[in-house]
Structure 1
Amino acid sequence: MACRAMDFAVAIPLGICSPQKRDVKLFRVKCSVVSLTENAAVSGSGGRPWKVSDARLVLEDGTIWKAKSFGAAGTQVGEVVFNTSLTGYQEILTDPSYAGQFVLMTNPHIGNTGVNFDDQESSQCFLGGLVIRSLSISTSSWRCVETLGDYLSKRNIMGIYDVDTRAITRRLREDGSLIGVLSTEESKSDNQLLEMARSWDIVGVDLISGVSCQAPYEWVDKTGNDWEFNTNGRPGETFKVVAYDFGIKHNILRRLASYGCKITVVPSTWPASETLKLQPDGILFSNGPGDPSAVPYAVDTVKELIGQVPIFGICMGHQLLGQALGGKTYKMKFGHHGGNHPVRNIKNGQVEISSQNHNYAVDPASLPDGIEVTHINLNDESCAGLAFPSKNIMSLQYHPEASPGPHDSDPVFGEFVDMMRRVKANA
């Protein structure tokens, strides 16, 4: 049997008006039918009507997890982390902060809304692979343009499913993040894959240079009207912001633009002197992947710009600020990855539900006097935000733009604008 795709149009009645006036909304359901011939070749069983295990995830602790593959084929090594988000797998796939990592989704059902080009956080996928429990056999979103498997195949990203993600997550919580190898190659033995996992390390590796832009560019797109959720308090004036791209997400730029900022995005290696020549009203140090201690050039740039203009750091930018101000960062046991982390805003006492993605944190005890901890992660009481009022610095460890959500922390962009406005007025 050759592979087939079935396309159904489904009519859904809307409202409770009379039959003559009832509206009908059509949406499309796409299903892929697995080839029996292909499965017979894979399994040697003479024709099983289901896909059989053809992939392995080998962890550095020696455990081997058999699975079924989708997306690209081959062998890939990376750090395995789990993400507790219930939605937004496409935003996760295109978040540059996941470079060098395999993302395991704790939500068991992935792929049922397919993929579209509006929800991308960057122009490509940066993660090493995707690990899920159940791959949806159909897509039912009107925004879908292709299936998750096809999307990953075109971008050479590996994925596996039918693996016990709950058991792996519990192992990661107990032992911490582990290096793993994904492979669909039968020619490689379990011992070879295990040796690959044990000989690779993500600590001390500069992952930023591989995800940053190569030349400056202007960003002008705001959050689309259909998705804009906060229109209060928009300033009438424009503020010039230079955004350092350590792996920046598009929705951070959209939110800044929506708050009245004219943004120039520059590479991670952009000299501080060139930034000051642009005469910005403020500087953003963005999110990004990996170990902040592995990019001393970025720390030096941050040091040179402190005190020059207002600064806002997000995630990696927050960690680089911590080091530049004399503090230390440390690798967390298994990090924070998900869209449901509670954070207490010490300034107003409110609790914000936040989107987080980081494996490193700033040690607040190592910071000099004058620097305030403004936010605390309520799961483990780690530092989630800093402020240095005398130097006009603010930072967050998590992602306030939070696409696809939550949006509790969005007002922080307004706080950055207020700081720029205040400094500009007093200049």
Structure 2
Amino acid sequence: MNKGILKFKDGKEFMGVLFGAPVSSPVIAEAVFNTGTPGYQEILTDPSYKGQIVILTSPMIGNYGIIDISDNESSDIKATALVVKKLYRGKIAPGRISLDAFLKKHSITGFEEADTRAMTIHIRKHGAMNAVIFTEEMRKDAEKLLSSYPSTSQIDLIKTVAVKESVINPATSSAREKARKEAEMNIAVIDYGIKESILDNLYKRNARLSVFNKEAGSKEILEAKPDLVFLSNGPGDPESLGRSIETIKDLIGKVPLCGICLGHQLITLALGAKTYKMKFGHHGANQPVKDVFTGRTFVTSQNHIFATDENTLPSGVSVWMRNANDSSVEALISPALKIKSVQFHPEGAPGPLDGEWIFDEFLELAK
């Protein structure tokens, strides 16, 4: 049993046991909590968790192991580390591997036998902040690193999770290839760390995709003659993406725009409005959202710590949906500008599929 320590930037410490990949040096990132129970494989491989230590609030994690690569939201684990109350170490179904083995395979450290309830309460009370995982022998180095480590706003997290070169009609799986051949619409995707399940939802609606990196300009994107521009999810602070914001500004009014999560925040900024960092954000698969026009309420999966400041929205842009818990902005709409964007994840993965109809709403913009 290899004992470890998790220390928050404000000095609060928690003792635990290390699992997964061995800790050879302090492991540091912003700590957030997620209230989901199943779906840890999708959470770990979600590019939006790049640069974060994920604390899962459920009392036991790992019960069904890791299914197969098709459930991954990207090619590998993107979270910096995983913290759980208790790691399941019993039998799992044939053909699967344990969560412990999955972390070892991807050189990711785990931290268990920890008071995750107290950690969650600490974050709720004091806000998300950097934290470091280390052994007692590393304490001096860990505390030095913790005192000087930058915030997520100062780190380019997208460069390691998104495409580096823009790709017109990228090579795809056989199922996606069939959808592409039957495509009824051209969609330009600006990739900030897109999830595989989002791509699947676009392909299964018979879309032909061209994928652009965050440095792409409006001229390059418009040369692909898209019917719709989709802005993906991704990690980090939207205000750090100045070039993308200028590109989106130039696209507004020239082509329909839609976005999810970070993409929604970038649309907010491109419209001239502001975003703000929430105290601890929304991370989980049980966030209720209400359509302010129809009164329809449904449950969503979410993973964000930045949000739209509705008091700064320009005329002609309306709040489409709100979070039923705290009334924060969950979606924007502008019929005149042909814009729709959502803060939540309509694809779930993990989580409910109640919001999958949002993809159909996006595609309606181009008709």
TM-score tier, shorter chain, comes to: over 0.9
* Separation (CA, whole Å) in 1 of partners of 2:109 and 2:197: 25
What letter matches 1:117 in structure 2? I
* Structure 1 vs Structure 2 CA RMSD: 1.7
Higher helix share goes to which structure?
A: 2
Please say if 1:208 is aligned against 2:158.
yes
What letter matches 2:230 in structure 1? L
2:41 to 58, 66, 90: 90
Provide the secondary structure at the position in 1 that maps to 2:103.
helix
* Separation (CA, whole Å) in 1 of partners of 2:183 and 2:87: 48
* Separation (CA, whole Å) in 1 of partners of 2:324 and 2:152: 27
Which protein shows a greater Rg? 1
What letter matches 1:300 in structure 2? E
* Separation (CA, whole Å) in 2 of partners of 1:405 and 1:361: 20
State the shift of 1:210 in Å: 2.3
What letter matches 2:4 in structure 1? A
Q: Which residue of 1 aligns with 2:56?
A: 105
Please say if 1:119 is aligned against 2:65.
no
What letter matches 2:80 in structure 1? G
Q: How many residues align?
A: 356
The answer on whether the counterparts of 1:223 and 1:255 sit within 8 Å (CA) in structure 2 is no
Please say if 1:395 is aligned against 2:348.
no
Structure 1, unaligned runs of 5 or more: 1-50, 225-235, 422-427
* Separation (CA, whole Å) in 1 of partners of 2:296 and 2:48: 27
The answer on whether the counterparts of 2:330 and 2:342 sit within 8 Å (CA) in structure 1 is yes
Structure 2, unaligned runs of 5 or more: 177-181
Please say if 1:258 is aligned against 2:204.
yes
The answer on whether the counterparts of 1:387 and 1:394 sit within 8 Å (CA) in structure 2 is yes
* Separation (CA, whole Å) in 2 of partners of 1:86 and 1:111: 10
2:19 to 65, 70, 80: 70
Q: Which residue of 2 aligns with 1:282?
A: 228
1:149 to 96, 100, 106: 100
Q: Which residue of 1 aligns with 2:144?
A: 195
Aligned 1:365-404 pairs, distance under 5 A: 365-404=311-350
Q: Which residue of 2 aligns with 1:129?
A: 81
State the shift of 1:342 in Å: 0.4
Deviations 1:36-85 (A, max 9, x none): xxxxxxxxxxxxxxx3x521111112122111111112221111100001
State the shift of 1:220 in Å: 4.7
Aligned 1:151-170 pairs, distance under 5 A: 151-170=102-121
Using the size of structure 2 for normalisation, the TM-score is 0.93
Deviations 1:315-360 (A, max 9, x none): 0000000000000011000011000000001232111100000010
Structure 1 residues 389 and 358: alpha-carbon distance in aligned structure 2, compared to 1, 3 A threshold: same
What letter matches 2:82 in structure 1? L
What letter matches 2:165 in structure 1? A
Provide the secondary structure at the position in 2 that maps to 1:109.
coil
Using the size of structure 1 for normalisation, the TM-score is 0.80
Q: Which residue of 2 aligns with 1:9?
A: none
Further displaced range: 294-303 or 166-175? 294-303
Larger RCO: 1 or 2 (CA < 8 Å, sep 6+): 2
The answer on whether the counterparts of 1:106 and 1:165 sit within 8 Å (CA) in structure 2 is yes
Deviations 1:232-273 (A, max 9, x none): xxxx86111011110100000100111121112221212221
What letter matches 1:126 in structure 2? K
The answer on whether the counterparts of 1:206 and 1:291 sit within 8 Å (CA) in structure 2 is no
* Separation (CA, whole Å) in 2 of partners of 1:268 and 1:237: 25
Q: Which residue of 2 aligns with 1:315?
A: 261
State the shift of 1:195 in Å: 3.2
* Separation (CA, whole Å) in 2 of partners of 1:333 and 1:275: 35
The answer on whether the counterparts of 2:286 and 2:351 sit within 8 Å (CA) in structure 1 is no
Deviations 1:353-384 (A, max 9, x none): 00000010010110110001001011211100
Provide the secondary structure at the position in 1 that maps to 2:158.
coil
What letter matches 2:11 in structure 1? G
State the shift of 1:138 in Å: 2.1
Aligned 1:205-354 pairs, distance under 5 A: 205-217=155-167, 218=170, 220=172, 238-354=184-300
The answer on whether the counterparts of 1:211 and 1:246 sit within 8 Å (CA) in structure 2 is yes
What letter matches 1:188 in structure 2? M
The answer on whether the counterparts of 1:221 and 1:254 sit within 8 Å (CA) in structure 2 is no
Q: Percent identity?
A: 39
State the shift of 1:106 in Å: 0.4
What letter matches 1:122 in structure 2? S
What letter matches 1:104 in structure 2? I
State the shift of 1:179 in Å: 1.0
**Deviation beyond 6 Å, 4+ runs, structure 1:** none
* Separation (CA, whole Å) in 2 of partners of 1:319 and 1:287: 9
Please say if 1:358 is aligned against 2:296.
no
